[in-house]
Amino acid sequence: MRRITITATLLGLFVVACLASHSCANTTTPPSGGPKDTLPPILLKVTPEEGTTGFPRTEGKVTLLYNEYTVVNSKSPEGILLSPPTPRGRKPIAKVKGKNIVVTLQDTLRENQTYVIDFGQALADNNEGNVAPRYVYAFSTGESIDSMYFTGTVLDSRSLTPVKSALVAAYSDLSDSACFNKMPDAVVKTDDWGFFVIRHIRDTVYQIFVYTDKDGDYRYNPDEDDIGFLDSLYTPKHHINDSIFELRPFNMKDTALCAAREPMITLLTFKELQSVQYLQNSGRVSNRQGFLKFSASDVQINSLEFVGIPDTSVILQYNQTRDSIDFWINTDYRLDDSLLVRLNYMKTDSTGTLVPVDENLSLAVKQEETPAGGPKKQDQDKKQAPDTVFKLTVNAQNETVEQLGVRVESALPLIRVERDSVQLWETNPKGQKAQKKFSFEQDTAELRRYIITPAEKLTKGYEYELTIPQGTFINLDKLPNEEAKAKFSIPQSEELSTLLLDLKDVEDRYIVELTDEKGTKVYRTYHVEKAGKLSFPYLSAGKYMIRITCDKNRNGYADTGNLLARKQPEVVRFYESSPGEKVFEVLASAEIEQTIDLKALFR
CA distances from 530 to 269, 510, 527, 533 (A): 30, 9, 10, 10
**pLDDT (tens digit, 9 = 90+) per residue, 153-166?**
999 999 999 999 99
Q: Is the peptide bond before 84 cis (omega within 30 degrees of 0)?
A: yes
Q: Which residues of the chain have pLDDT under 70?
A: 1-35, 74-78, 367-384
- Regarding whether 162 and 136 lie in a shared domain, the answer is no
Residue 22 lies in a domain: no
CA distances from 149 to 136, 191, 204, 246 (A): 13, 17, 11, 11
- Regarding whether 240 and 136 lie in a shared domain, the answer is no
Within a 10 A sphere around the Cβ of 575, how many other Cβ atoms?
19
Residue 28 lies in a domain: no
- Regarding whether 520 and 425 lie in a shared domain, the answer is no
- Specify the 3-state DSSP secondary structure of 293: strand
List Cβ neighbours of 501 (8 Å cut-off, separation of 6 or more). 512, 533, 534, 536, 546, 575, 593, 594, 595, 596
- Regarding whether 504 and 449 lie in a shared domain, the answer is no
With b for 16 or more beta-carbon neighbours within 10 A and e for fewer, the 283-319 pattern comes to ebeeebbbbbebbbbebeeeebebeebeeeeebeeee
Residue 379 lies in a domain: no
Q: Where are the beta strands (DSSP E) in 256-401?
A: 265-269, 279-286, 289-294, 301-306, 314-318, 324-329, 338-348, 354-364, 393-395
Contact 191, 153 (CB under 8 A): no
Domains held by the chain: number: 5
Domain region containing 432: 393-489
β-sheet bridge partners, residue 585: 543
SS (H, E, C) 232-279: CCECCCEECCCCCHHHCCCCCCCHHHHHCCCCCEEEEEECCCCCCCCE
**pLDDT (tens digit, 9 = 90+) per residue, 271-323?**
998 888 999 999 999 999 999 999 988 899 999 999 999 999 999 999 988 99
245: Cα separation from own chain's centroid: 31
**pLDDT (tens digit, 9 = 90+) per residue, 509-568?**
999 999 999 999 999 999 999 999 999 999 999 999 999 999 999 989 999 999 988 999
- Regarding whether 507 and 397 lie in a shared domain, the answer is no
Contact 493, 477 (CB under 8 A): no
319 DSSP assignment: -
pLDDT of residue 564: 86
Euclidean distance between CA atoms 118 and 135, whole angstroms: 6
The string of DSSP letters for 127-180 reads TT-PBPPP-EEEEESSSS---EEEEEEEEETTT--B-TT-EEEEES--STTHHH
Euclidean distance between CA atoms 20 and 14, whole angstroms: 10
- Regarding whether 458 and 502 lie in a shared domain, the answer is no
Residue 7 lies in a domain: no
pLDDT of residue 5: 41
- Regarding whether 178 and 134 lie in a shared domain, the answer is no
Burial class of residue 353 in the structure, from the number of CB atoms within 10 Å of its CB (0-12 exposed, 13-18 middle, 19+ buried): exposed
Residue 31 lies in a domain: no
- Regarding whether 153 and 118 lie in a shared domain, the answer is no
Domain boundary among 208, 241, 269: 269
208: closest CA among 156, 165, 154?
154
- Regarding whether 163 and 128 lie in a shared domain, the answer is no
Rounded to the nearest 5°, which phi and psi values hold at 532? 160, -175
Domain boundary among 466, 489, 512: 489
- Regarding whether 347 and 301 lie in a shared domain, the answer is yes
- Regarding whether 558 and 503 lie in a shared domain, the answer is yes
- The CATH number of whichever domain residue 445 belongs to comes to 2.60.40.3710
492: Cα separation from own chain's centroid: 37
Domain boundary among 140, 174, 195: 140
Residue 208 lies in a domain: yes
Length of the chain as a residue count? 603
Residue 510 lies in a domain: yes
308 DSSP assignment: T
This prediction's pTM: 0.80
Euclidean distance between CA atoms 374 and 383, whole angstroms: 14
Euclidean distance between CA atoms 21 and 280, whole angstroms: 68
- Regarding whether 473 and 576 lie in a shared domain, the answer is no
List Cβ neighbours of 173 (8 Å cut-off, separation of 6 or more). 182, 185, 207
Residue 373 lies in a domain: no
Euclidean distance between CA atoms 233 and 560, whole angstroms: 21
Euclidean distance between CA atoms 244 and 257, whole angstroms: 13
CA distances from 184 to 112, 198, 210, 421 (A): 16, 12, 11, 67
